[in-house]
């Protein structure tokens, strides 16, 4: 049976990918940020997951406004990255796990999450950068990945409560999978930031700290916000905390915090990192 070892919430700012490509990790601007990932990397080394379910949002690489799925799940054995238009190097493909994907899809639809099924799915920086941060090293592809995309481009966006429930259903789908694999769930994005409008550059440290606290102890508190309220408090793109909420939903009530890190600014963003582990992780730790 599959074992869900834990989850990680992490920012996915494109500038991080650029800094990695240019080898700037030790520069004064970047070092405090990258050093925050060492403990997460060590945790992953100990837990040795086989599969990562990566909950992220597409920023106009795979999906356009012609067809905008609220929730989309990859069902391929390989996922390609591609040019996003503003200079980030294109990453090599990521291995998928179509058997696992289809099992997840069957389970989610059975639970009445009518997701969009994608046998081809370009993955953008929101998928690539967290993989690079958590499994560093040139072109490393340590584990198989399942992309799950949540629409944050075109309103109406799925509600925070719905994203949390999607995560809970993903958690149950993992628990029900009959192969012996170790699974980690990633939720990527955030934390507070805003790219557009006269409020561009908005960051809200107290609200981010509130979110990181609640994600550990009382995630359901965050499900009571509307998306408009999240945008007001965290900025337009701060609504990406939806992906963290879905990740947290997958882990269940007994998950415990392992590590967290928070750093302002990375580009226009307050960058956050959180590692949580499930009680099952004790059974597999090296």
CB of 29 to another protein, least distance (A): 10
* DSSP string covering 185-207: EEEE--SS---SSTTTT---HHH
Q: Residues 156, 178, 217, 286: which binds another protein (CB under 8 A)?
A: 156
Tokens encoding 14: 């494109």
Q: Is 259 a catalytic residue?
A: no
- The interface with another protein within residues 93-152 (CB under 8 A) comprises none
The token pair at 275 is 């590692």
Q: Assess 89 for contact with another protein (CB under 8 A).
A: no
Name residue, tokens 């997951």.
Answer: 49
State the Cα–Cα distance between residues 222 and 165, nearest whole angstrom.
12
Binding piece for another protein, criterion CB under 8 A, among 72-80, 109-117, 229-237, 277-285: 229-237
193 is annotated as an active-site residue: yes
Task: Give the chain's length.
Answer: 286
Q: How far apart are CA 124 and CA 61, in angstroms?
A: 6
Reference 174, options 152, 149, 148; nearest CA is 148
209 lies in the site for another protein, by CB under 8 A: no
User: Interface with another protein by CB under 8 A: which range of 142-150, 159-167, 192-200, 244-252?
Assistant: 192-200
Find the binder of another protein among 263, 272, 276, 277 (CB under 8 A). 263
By the rule CB under 8 A, 87 interacts with another protein: yes
Stretch that binds another protein, among 48-56, 71-79, 81-89, 179-187 (CB under 8 A): 81-89
- CA-based nearest residue to 165, from 125, 93, 110, 220: 220
Q: Which of 12, 59, 155, 193 is catalytic?
A: 193
Which range of residues in 2-10, 113-121, 153-161, 174-182 is near another protein by CB under 8 A?
153-161
Token pair, residue 24, equals: 């700037």
Q: Any residues with CB less than 8 A from the CB of 223 and at least 6 apart, and which?
A: 159, 160, 161, 164, 245
Among 28, 86, 137, 253, binds another protein (CB under 8 A): 86
The answer to whether 229 contacts another protein (rule: CB under 8 A) is yes
Query: CA 140, 145, 151, 157: dihedral to nearest 10 degrees?
Result: -120
Active-site residues, by number, are 125, 193
Q: Which residues lie near another protein (CB under 8 A)? A: 14-15, 59-61, 64-66, 82-87, 153-156, 194-203, 205, 226, 228-229, 231-232, 235-236, 263-265, 267-268, 270
């Amino acid at each position: 049976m599959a074992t869900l070892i834990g989850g990680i919430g992490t920012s996915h700012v494109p500038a991080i990918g650029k800094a990695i490509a240019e080898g700037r990790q030790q520069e004064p601007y970047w070092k405090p940020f990258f050093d925050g990932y060492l403990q997460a990397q060590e945790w992953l080394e100990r837990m040795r997951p086989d599969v990562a379910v990566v909950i992220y949002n597409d920023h106009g690489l795979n999906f356009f406004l012609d067809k905008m799925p609220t929730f989309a799940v990859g069902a391929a054995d390989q996922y390609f990255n591609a040019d996003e238009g503003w200079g980030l190097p294109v990453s090599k493909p990521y291995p998928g796990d179509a058997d696992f994907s289809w099992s997840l899809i069957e389970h989610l639809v059975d639970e009445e999450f009518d997701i969009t099924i994608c046998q081809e799915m370009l993955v953008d920086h929101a998928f690539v950068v967290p993989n690079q941060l958590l499994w560093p090293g040139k072109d490393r592809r340590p584990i198989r990945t399942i992309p799950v995309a949540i629409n944050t481009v075109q309103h109406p966006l799925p509600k925070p409560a719905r994203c949390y429930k999607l995560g809970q259903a993903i958690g149950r789908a993992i628990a029900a999978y009959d192969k012996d694999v170790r699974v980690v769930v990633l939720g990527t994005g955030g934390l507070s930031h805003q790219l557009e409008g006269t409020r561009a550059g908005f960051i809200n440290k107290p609200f981010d700290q509130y979110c990181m606290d609640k994600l550990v102890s009382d995630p359901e508190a965050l499900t009571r916000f509307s998306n408009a309220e999240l945008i007001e408090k965290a900025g337009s793109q701060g609504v990406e905390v939806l992906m963290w909420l879905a990740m947290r939903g997958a882990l269940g009530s007994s998950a415990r915090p392992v590590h967290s890190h928070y750093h302002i600014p990375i580009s226009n963003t307050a960058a956050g990192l959180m590692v949580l582990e499930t009680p099952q992780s004790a059974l597999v730790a090296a």
